[in-house]
Amino acid sequence: MQCPCNPNKKYSDCCQKAHQNIHSVTSAEALMRSRYSAFVLANIDYLQKSYHSSTRPSKREKKEILAWTKAVNWIKLEVLHATENTVEFKAFFMENGSIDVIHENSVFCKENDHWVYLGQK
């Protein structure tokens, strides 16, 4: 199957590696891509794991995130700009019949020796 983050790559050569072992992620952009793919695949445990401990959603929020990502249809990811610890992206999805976009400049850092998502800039 194609990777949700990049239709030119196979999932097994791309985000699956991250989903199987978060320690294999070597850059902020790769972590961001793997989080997008986890939203598409409703892999909520990976999403939780890839948050920094200070911003990780609560159990209740986790359920809401899971319900939301299952309710929308993800269309595509566009990475606009990436630095060592930030990634600006657009994530397009369909919700209730209309196209919507998340445009975010995300900040990443390392915790427990692997990349994690800290929050928005």
Which residues of this chain interact with Zn ion, rule CB under 5 A?
3, 5, 14-15, 33, 37
Q: Based on CB atoms, which residue is closest to Zn ion, 12 or 105? A: 12
What is the smallest separation between the CB atom of 54 and Zn ion, expressed in angstroms? 26
Q: Based on CB atoms, which residue is closest to Zn ion, 6 or 118? A: 6
**112 phi-psi bin (left φ>0, alpha ψ -120 to 50, beta other):** left
Q: Based on CB atoms, which residue is closest to Zn ion, 4 or 118? A: 4
Q: In a 10 Å sphere around its CB, with 0-12 CB exposed, 13-18 middle and 19+ buried, how is residue 95 labelled?
A: exposed
CA angle 32, 18, 15 (to 5 degrees): 70
What is the smallest separation between the CB atom of 63 and Zn ion, expressed in angstroms? 25
107 φ, ψ (degrees, to nearest 5): -115, 135
What is the smallest separation between the CB atom of 84 and Zn ion, expressed in angstroms? 19
